[in-house]
Amino acid sequence: MRKNGDNMGTKNKENIILIGFMGCGKTSVGKRLAKRLNYPFVDTDHLIEKNIGCTINEIFSSKGEDFFREMETSILREIGSDSRHKVIATGGGLPEKKQNREILKEIGHVVYLKISKETVIKRLSGDTTRPKLKGDDLSTKVDALLREREPIYEEVADQVIETDDKSYNEIINLITNAMG
Ligand code: S3P
């Protein structure tokens, strides 16, 4: 994978990193993409849950969000230091930290899977696994978080894909085509 003839030097740019809001399909697309490319698949949320031995809900309630965010940074560093090419799915809030955005840019081709507020709400109403969306008024919460995060996702992305009306295959083809 080369962007505009860039020589990626020692940077591990062959990783493909999926970012985007909760419910945009990072894990579902990532697993299928990894299979297509015969790359290992890793998911930062899953690795954190495995390392700590409890769910993200439990981590947020017992250790707090700041602890979870620190875990995201250290997991990302760890993933980035492994030289094997991988498909990496990230938690929706991971790019919020500037430090994480710098690591993302350094370690791979960053693909932003963009999703509309309406699709998030359709997919995540009734979901109980995401502490950031707990409680009443899903629509207001999604609206506020999307407004805050969309510019951040755009800033760090090498590639942006509008996913609302696309199949997994269409999304994967767009990513593999961009890899050249
Ligand atoms: C979060 C998104 C979640 C998970 C955690 C926090 C967020 O991941 O990391 O609940 O702040 O957007 P998904 O984007 O995979 O749902």
Residue minimizing CA distance to atom 12 of ligand 1: 92
| Mean pLDDT, residues 131-153 | 95
Q: Name the band, by pLDDT with cuts 50, 70 and 90, for residue 13.
A: low
Architecture per CATH, 16-164? 3-Layer(aba) Sandwich (3.40)
Distance 130 CA to ligand 1 centre (A): 6
What is the per-residue DSSP string for the chain?
A: --STT---TTS-TTEEEEE-STTS-HHHHHHHHHHHHT--EEEHHHHHHHHHTS-HHHHHHHT-HHHHHHHHHHHHHHHHH--S--EEE--TTGGGSHHHHHHHHHHEEEEEEE--HHHHHHHHTT--S-GGG-SS-HHHHHHHHHHHHHHHHHHH-SEEEE-TT--HHHHHHHHHHHH-
Q: pTM of the full predicted structure?
A: 0.93
- Is it the case that residue 1 has pLDDT exceeding 60? no
- Is it the case that residue 2 has pLDDT exceeding 90? no
Distance 5 CA to ligand 1 centre (A): 34
- Is it the case that residue 162 has pLDDT exceeding 80? yes
Domain boundaries, the chain: 16-164
Distance 131 CA to ligand 1 centre (A): 8
